[in-house]
């Protein structure tokens, strides 16, 4: 072989070697990216493999006031475990990495959301149950779906946030719930001539809830005689008397027929209700958070809450509905002896809606396709939480709820889950 031909062959060999090395490097990098993103080398989708979908949540497990939503983690896990036992969704099991604690701090909630998405590489956040959740803007910007209890305005107007009860903080002109007022009117034998006073804290979510809930009662025919948002949200006040005095004289110098507490925390409600009863209040007390079995363990707390009407946005555990029997069985299987709480139910039903949306998206799963399903005339009816309609419920609540009464040291179903039409928020 000539010296020139030999040089040509050697050069060609070196070129092929370089191309092979580059090709190998590409394969290695793609494989690593797929592993880190939970996807496959053919086109990695964060949190998704051929056999699994990874999710995690953000809860307020701890807070200065003692308010905690930690039980939502057990509820979500119970629903996911049943889905996995049934073979998963479209051939994929749910890999639940658990829930981060935001400490009822918006900045910590934002950091928790970023950790789950950027480090843990979850496909979606389930459940999110934190009144001051601060990760909404990040999740919307990243196109990451999130599911939970829509307790504040950060849930509304998004394309990624799916509250199991819709948007509870609609803008003026959008649909606003009437179910609480209408259920109470039915329970009390009508609303004609009856007055209502609404007490909230100074948190944004509580104040907004006061506005929408006030309208719920006026839409049902009650006369609003007071809406007080001056109660500090950080901790119960040392003296309830100033608040009680306003309430007891709000209806033309008399006490109102109904007092609605829009306060997140049993300590708050126990303090307010105890003070009202000491002042001789004989009307109806109602709130959204007192459906809590832990109350029954404390004699003083149970006494303060006796007769209170709680308004959960799901079918009560005391119901005979098959969906509630299934929930109880699912929870007992993963956490025997667990006390059923409102927060647990919220985690369970949030996970249930996520699973339904996941199933309807199909085997070819990406965040874009998943969100297209959720925002493309999505509907789901379930006796456990009523109904959900998206994208409509990105801007208004689902309009459904039940009533539970604490009587004789036990909870009783006062009104089963029912859905009502919304009215435009004034």
Q: What's the DSSP call for residue 314?
A: S
In this structure, are residues 61 and 69 in contact, taking their beta carbons and an 8 Å threshold?
A: yes
User: Is residue 352 helix, strand or coil?
Assistant: helix
- Write the pLDDT tens digit of every residue in 230-289: 999 988 999 999 999 999 999 999 999 999 999 877 889 999 999 999 999 999 999 988
Is the pLDDT confidence value at 27 over 90? no
Please tell me the predicted confidence (pLDDT) of residue 146: 98
Burial class for 10, CB neighbours closer than 10 Å (0-12, 13-18, 19+): exposed
Please tell me the predicted confidence (pLDDT) of residue 296: 85
Is the pLDDT confidence value at 368 over 90? yes
> Strand pairing partners for 170?
none
Residues in the chain, overall count: 426
Q: Tell me how far apart the alpha carbons of residues 100 and 36 are, in angstroms, rounded to a whole number.
A: 20
Please tell me the predicted confidence (pLDDT) of residue 268: 92
Burial class for 291, CB neighbours closer than 10 Å (0-12, 13-18, 19+): buried
- Write the pLDDT tens digit of every residue in 375-405: 999 999 999 999 999 999 999 999 999 999 9
- Write the pLDDT tens digit of every residue in 158-195: 999 999 999 988 999 999 999 999 999 999 999 999 99
In this structure, are residues 247 and 277 in contact, taking their beta carbons and an 8 Å threshold?
A: no
> Strand pairing partners for 198?
227, 260
Compute the average pLDDT of residues 46-56. Answer: 98
> How many Å from the N-terminal Cα to the C-terminal Cα in the chain?
93
Please tell me the predicted confidence (pLDDT) of residue 67: 85
Q: Which of 139, 120, 94, 174 is nearest to 424 (CA)?
A: 174
Percent of the chain with pLDDT over 70: 90
Is the pLDDT confidence value at 39 over 50? no
Q: Tell me how far apart the alpha carbons of residues 342 and 362 are, in angstroms, rounded to a whole number.
A: 31
pLDDT band at residue 43 under the 50/70/90 scheme: low
Is the pLDDT confidence value at 298 over 90? no
User: Is residue 259 helix, strand or coil?
Assistant: strand
Is the pLDDT confidence value at 307 over 50? yes
What are the structure tokens assigned to 44, written together?
């990695």
- Write the pLDDT tens digit of every residue in 104-120: 999 999 999 999 999 99
Q: Which of 174, 167, 260 is nearest to 213 (CA)?
A: 260
What are the structure tokens assigned to 361, written together?
């998206």
Which single residue is written with the structure tokens 């929930």? 327
Q: Give CA separation, 272 vs 238, 251, 305, 408, in Å.
A: 11, 18, 10, 20
Dihedrals phi, psi of 417, to nearest 5 degrees: -50, 130
Compute the average pLDDT of residues 197-221. Answer: 92
User: Is residue 206 helix, strand or coil?
Assistant: helix
- Write the pLDDT tens digit of every residue in 312-323: 999 999 999 999
Q: Tell me how far apart the alpha carbons of residues 58 and 109 are, in angstroms, rounded to a whole number.
A: 7
């Amino acid at each position: 072989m000539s010296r020139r031909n030999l040089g040509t062959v050697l050069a060609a060999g070196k070129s092929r070697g370089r191309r092979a090395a580059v090709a190998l490097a590409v394969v290695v990098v793609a494989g690593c990216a797929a592993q880190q993103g939970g996807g496959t080398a053919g086109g990695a989708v964060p949190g998704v493999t051929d056999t699994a979908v990874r999710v995690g949540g953000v809860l307020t497990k701890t807070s200065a006031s003692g308010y905690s939503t930690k039980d939502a983690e057990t509820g979500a896990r119970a629903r996911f475990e049943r889905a996995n036992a049934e073979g998963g969704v479209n051939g994929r099991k749910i890999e639940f990495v658990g829930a981060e604690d935001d400490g009822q701090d918006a900045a910590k909630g934002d950091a928790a959301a970023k950790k789950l998405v950027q480090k843990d590489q979850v496909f979606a956040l389930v459940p999110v149950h934190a009144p001051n959740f601060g990760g909404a803007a990040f999740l919307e910007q990243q196109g990451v779906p999130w599911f939970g209890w829509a307790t504040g305005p950060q849930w509304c107007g998004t394309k990624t946030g799916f509250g199991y009860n819709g948007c509870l903080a609609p803008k003026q002109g959008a649909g606003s719930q009437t179910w609480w007022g209408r259920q109470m009117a039915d329970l009390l034998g009508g609303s004609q001539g009856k007055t209502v006073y609404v007490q909230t804290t100074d948190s944004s979510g509580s104040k907004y809830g006061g506005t929408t809930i006030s309208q719920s009662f006026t839409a049902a025919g009650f006369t609003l005689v007071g809406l007080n948002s001056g109660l500090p949200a950080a901790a119960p006040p040392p003296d309830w008397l100033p608040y009680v005095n306003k309430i007891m004289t709000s209806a033309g110098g008399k006490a109102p027929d109904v007092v609605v507490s829009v306060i997140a925390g049993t300590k708050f409600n126990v303090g307010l209700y105890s003070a009202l009863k000491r002042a001789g209040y004989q009307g109806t007390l109602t709130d959204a958070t007192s459906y809590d079995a832990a109350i029954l363990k404390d004699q003083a707390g149970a006494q303060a809450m006796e007769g209170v009407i709680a308004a959960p946005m799901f079918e009560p555990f005391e119901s005979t509905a098959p969906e509630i029997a299934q929930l109880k069985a699912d929870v007992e299987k993963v956490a025997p002896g667990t006390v059923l709480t409102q927060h647990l139910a919220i985690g369970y039903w949030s996970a249930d809606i996520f699973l339904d949306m996941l199933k309807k998206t199909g085997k070819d799963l990406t965040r874009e396709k998943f969100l297209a399903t959720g925002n493309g005339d999505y509907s789901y009816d379930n006796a456990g939480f009523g109904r959900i309609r998206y994208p409509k419920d990105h801007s208004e609540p689902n309009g459904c709820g039940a009533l539970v009464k604490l009587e004789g040291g036990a909870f009783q179903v006062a009104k089963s889950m029912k859905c009502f039409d919304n009215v435009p928020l004034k």
